[in-house]
Structure 1
Amino acid sequence: MSNVLKGWLADNAVTTDNKDDKILVLESAGNLTEKEIMERMMKEITGLKEETLSHAVTLYNRIIMESLLNGYTVNTGLFYASPSFQGVIDGGVWNKEKNSIRVNFQQGKTLREEIAKTKVDILGEKADIMYVLEVEDKKTGLKDGTVSPGFGVIIRGRNLKIAGSDESVGIYLINDQSSEEKLPDYQIIRNMPSELTIQIPTGLLTGTYTLRITTQFSAGKNSLKTPRSLDIQVNLV
């Protein structure tokens, strides 16, 4: 099956003085969980028991994780990963409040080759599209999707402002068990169409979360009758 990515033309929120400057915003095909990936694999691998495949995938993930967290670099072909340390070491002592461990991921050879063969379809122009350009962790300055509990996160994009009277309007953090936490208003520090600054709550477990922005804001004169949402993946460290 050939790879195809689809995208919409949209005004570049960064270069506001150039009305002809366009970017391409991905048309999402949805989200895939590990369970759904294994279901797809089962359709292609006949005669293999589901529990065998599940065990193999779990073992594969565990060995990669343990290898990284014991100082190895890992090259799977899809990605190249290596661990590193963040923060200044005061007095020669590791401080979990100030220091952290980070795993750096880069595209591997196999993935780069497939990217080169991927077709891009431009669907047309969406003037009022909602999108995120980048997410910046104010603690570390990183823009790789990692976020730090208790610290600010800057989300830059277009039509992101939290506005509207519908009870669903707001910002949510959703874990992999679909348990969601709605951020209180006081944790939305900056609320602008092109930039949100939020504070990540403390007390959450580390791991991957879906950050959902739901709003009735529109660049036009009238608010949207029906709220729209945008999901981005973040990694709580």
Structure 2
Amino acid sequence: MAEKIILTADLYDNALTEKKGDYVAKAAITGTLRNDGIADRIVAKRTEYRRETIINILNLADEEKANAIAENKSVIDGVGQYLLSILGSFDGEKAPFDPAKHKLAVSFAPGKFLRELLKLVEVQTRPASTGPVINSIIDSTTNELNGQLTSGSAAVIDGANIRIAGDDKVVGVFFTKTGGAAKKCPLLIHNNPSQLTVMLPALENGEYTLSIVTQYATSNKLVKDARTYTFPVVLYVGAKPGDDDRPVIE
């Protein structure tokens, strides 16, 4: 029997409706897991395979799955099914594919094991924090969600109470490389409570964490001390460490 899983969901006021007391739930992200982390979980179950062997097999499986998806094969594994799709409209039946207007994407449908596991998840709701909360970041160059960033490019950050306000020497949007110092975004293109568009600083290849520091509070009021929120998802510039520039499935 699967171990009980507790999912924490934050309740936010629904900005899309005027109904009083109408809230929407957003699951709180608990971190990022890559193949080395998956291998650690398998090793913890006392498998006879070495950790390095497991990581190598997982990496090879990822590569072959990605290649098969790029070949427009329907790929089904123990998690779900992956299908290639084409986004964008075409002008006429003989219109060519235009990378400026069209994009290849991958859709995902959960498999039986995941669907059954989700039925066992216990959801516990709580009022959302009044401080800043980051829900996602999209790289404007690649349109990738919560993943790869492009150095010096624009990015869109969604969340709640994330408007940057207060002492400019303290507040801002920061990217911190693992083991390095924080770099502040040099430009805020849009600065709204629920969405920021920022220009990323020059970032070296590697893993990064995203943090927001602001004195903004609801109703455009400022709090005395700046509050910090760090996005729990690990982001990266360049190839994912250990991925050897392999294709990435979104």
Could you tell me how far apart the structure 1 residues matched to 2:225 and 2:75 are? 49
1:99-178 to 2 correspondences below 5 Å: 99-122=102-125, 124-126=126-128, 128-132=130-134, 154-165=156-167, 169-172=171-174
Could you tell me how far apart the structure 1 residues matched to 2:50 and 2:148 are? 38
**Deviation digits for residues 58-110 of structure 1, max 9, x if unmatched?**
11111111111111111224222112234467885555455432222232332
SS in 2 for 1:47: coil
1:175 shift after superposition: 7.9
In structure 2, the CA distance between the partners of 1:127 and 1:64, relative to structure 1 (3 Å rule), is closer
Where structure 2 has 5 or more consecutive residues not aligned to the other structure, the ranges are 238-249
Could you tell me how far apart the structure 1 residues matched to 2:51 and 2:227 are? 39
CA contact (8 A) 1:173 1:209 kept: no
In structure 2, the CA distance between the partners of 1:58 and 1:133, relative to structure 1 (3 Å rule), is closer
Letter of the 1:225 counterpart: D
SS in 1 for 2:21: coil
**Deviation digits for residues 135-166 of structure 1, max 9, x if unmatched?**
678899x8966899698655443201122337
Is 2:36 the partner of 1:44? no
SS in 1 for 2:40: helix
**Deviation digits for residues 178-211 of structure 1, max 9, x if unmatched?**
89764321xx221011232345789998xx9867
1:167 shift after superposition: 5.3
Match of 1:22 in 2: 23
Could you tell me how far apart the structure 1 residues matched to 2:30 and 2:119 are? 20
Q: Which of these residues, 209, 215, 218, is aligned with residue 217 of structure 1?
A: 215
RMSD: 4.3
In structure 2, the CA distance between the partners of 1:112 and 1:13, relative to structure 1 (3 Å rule), is same
CA contact (8 A) 2:7 2:124 kept: yes
Match of 2:185 in 1: 183
Is 2:81 the partner of 1:80? yes
Could you tell me how far apart the structure 1 residues matched to 2:140 and 2:168 are? 30
Match of 2:245 in 1: none
Could you tell me how far apart the structure 2 residues matched to 1:13 and 1:102 are? 29
CA contact (8 A) 2:133 2:229 kept: no
Could you tell me how far apart the structure 1 residues matched to 2:102 and 2:203 are? 18
Match of 1:196 in 2: 196
Corresponding residue pairs, total: 230
In structure 2, the CA distance between the partners of 1:112 and 1:151, relative to structure 1 (3 Å rule), is farther
SS in 1 for 2:30: coil
In structure 2, the CA distance between the partners of 1:194 and 1:37, relative to structure 1 (3 Å rule), is same
SS in 1 for 2:163: coil
Match of 2:247 in 1: none
In structure 2, the CA distance between the partners of 1:176 and 1:73, relative to structure 1 (3 Å rule), is farther
